[in-house]
A = this chain, B = another copy of it.
Amino acid sequence: MSDSAQGLIGHLLGALAAIISLVANPLQPTPAQASDQEQAYRGSVFHILKDPSRHSENAYEYIEDALLVVKDGHIKKLAPYHSERSKLTPGTTVSDYSGMLIMPGFIDTHIHYPQREMIAAYGKQLLEWLNTYTFPTEKKYSDAAYARSQADLFLEELIRNGTTTALVFTTVYPISVEALFEAAYTKNMRIIAGKVLMDRNAPIELIDTPKSGIDQSRALIRKWHGKGRLAYAITPRFAITSSPEQLQAAGTLKKEFPTIYVHTHLSENTDEIALVKKFFPERSSYFDVYDYYGLTGPRSVFAHGVHLSESEINRIKQTKSVISFCPTSNLFLGSGLFPYRALKDKGVRVALGTDVGAGTSFSLFETLNEAYKVNQLNKTSFSPIEGLYLATLGGAKALELDNKIGNFLAGKEADFIVINPNSTPILQARSKNSKNLEEKLFALMMLSDDRSIKAVYIAGKKVETQSRKASP
């Protein structure tokens, strides 16, 4: 049977599974429905239209006093307040966020949900950190109730930080993936995740097999991929913890579902790279391991890529694979200084990730602060426009979701955040002294944290978090 026929059958089976799932789970909560009443939001609006590192002009739009009109969970229109106000459909509610900045929701292209509880674990570099902290923590996620409660807290924390879309690592346990998807489905949040594949070099409780790993992944794909706003990512932890057989099977699974993602780690730490060479002596490079087994491509996201060779960079570009730049993690684990500008200049697709729990913050603002610092140490430029591109439209493009999210073009899904540029005394002082938009956005990028996120809307619906309710 040809690959495309296999893919078609896979799709039909997936659709069938989705129908069966809907019939079998009539009481399962449906996504929060956006009001079909038109809603409008007044405030300063900033969004990115093109990659600013490729287009120096018209890369973004900023309207000081704007009206963002939302209907059925989608952007209907963005226009200056004074011209648009009179044209609103009668009965439209206008929420007034004057003095605030409205931006597209943030997109985090690499984060581990079970590591929320072990963020900032002390004192190791990558491989020892995995054994000391990560694996013991992930064992707890075989418990469905525990996993679900943690998934809820994880999504809350994303929202508190203005992140509305994320590509997420779970654990080897399918139940931990179910927990995250269920939690995200209830919130109607655009989450991409998958079961971790790991059949060697890890504690026995966390080990699957080439067959069980793929069977479980396939079942999860059929149940969740394309359901609501959810999507699935085949998720080998990294080359060290998957046998050639498992990677081979993962590559075959990718062919079976052409719209599926791949999410893994690449070239983070020099000891890790040496170990990959030891386990795959027949492959020409770390990236070549994934490439050989058919795991690269436009929907494949590789976290880190700190120490890539020229030939790896060329091949990453050829395959249109994506590298997720995770600065707070690279600094926290001492992995190295990501060559951001060099990769961009070579045409590699680069996105942004927090990599919590090795990353030290859920906030993409705080992540951009350190992205800037990494570029300063590399003596390369990194503008706030470019930073905010990475956190919004750049992330959407990296996930091939820029037809759905990433900016406020009419028809896109209404995931947006309201930012208070005066959330702390220092931010207030800086905002007052900023001479232009770029300085103002730079101050936000360097000084903001979760406190600047005043409100979050997912598919047009305002989301309240427990902690937001607790401290207004």
Instruction: Check if A257 is an interface residue, CB within 8 A of chain B.
Output: no
Contact B377 A334 (CB under 8 A): yes
A112 at the interface (CB under 8 A from B): no
Query: Could you say which of A116, A377, A426, A432 has the most chain B C-beta atoms within 10 Å of its C-beta?
Result: A426
Contact B381 A446 (CB under 8 A): no
Q: Which residues of A (301-343) have their CB < 8 Å from a CB of B? A: 331-334, 336-337
In angstroms, Cα B424 to Cα A119, docked, is 13
Bound Cα distance from A362 to B430, whole angstroms: 14
Closest residue to A447 on the B side, CB-wise? B120
Q: Given A119-B447, A383-B123, decide whether A157 and B426 contact each other with a Cβ distance below 8 A.
A: yes
Give the interface SS of chain A, mostly helix, strand, loop or mixed.
helix
Query: In this assembly, does A438 line the interface, its C-beta being within 8 Å of a C-beta of chain B?
Result: yes
Q: Of B376, B379, B426, which one neighbours A119 at CB under 8 angstroms?
A: B426
> Of B117, B426, B450, which is within 8 A of A424 by CB?
B450
- A169 CB to closest chain B CB (Å) equals 17
A120 touches B377 (CB 8 A): no
Q: Is A202 an interface residue (CB 8 A)?
A: no
Task: Quote the shortest CB–CB distance from A227 to chain B (angstroms).
Answer: 28
Q: Is A146 in contact with chain B by the CB < 8 A criterion?
A: no
User: Chain A, interface size: which category?
Assistant: 35 or more
* Interface residues in A364-417 (C-beta closer than 8 Å to B): 369-370, 372-373, 375-379, 381, 383-384
CA distance A28 to B369 in the complex (A): 43
Contact, CB under 8 Å: A369 / B360: yes
A379 to B123: give the CA distance in the assembly, Å: 11
A467 close to B119 (CB less than 8 A): no
B116 close to A426 (CB less than 8 A): yes
A376 touches B120 (CB 8 A): no
Query: Given the complex of chains A and B, what is the CA–CA distance between A450 and B443 in angstroms?
Result: 18
Q: Is A65 among interface residues, defined by CB-CB distance under 8 A? A: no
Closest to A384 in B: B122
Q: Which residue of B lies closest to A137 (CB)?
A: B433
Q: Which residues of chain B are within 8 angstroms of A119 by Cβ–Cβ distance?
A: 426, 429-430, 446-447
Indicate whether A467 sits within 8 Å of B425 (C-beta atoms), given known contacts A120-B430, A120-B447: yes
A381–B123 contact, CB under 8 A? yes
In the complex, residue of chain B having the shortest beta-carbon distance to the beta carbon of A450: B424
Interface membership of A76, Cβ < 8 A? no
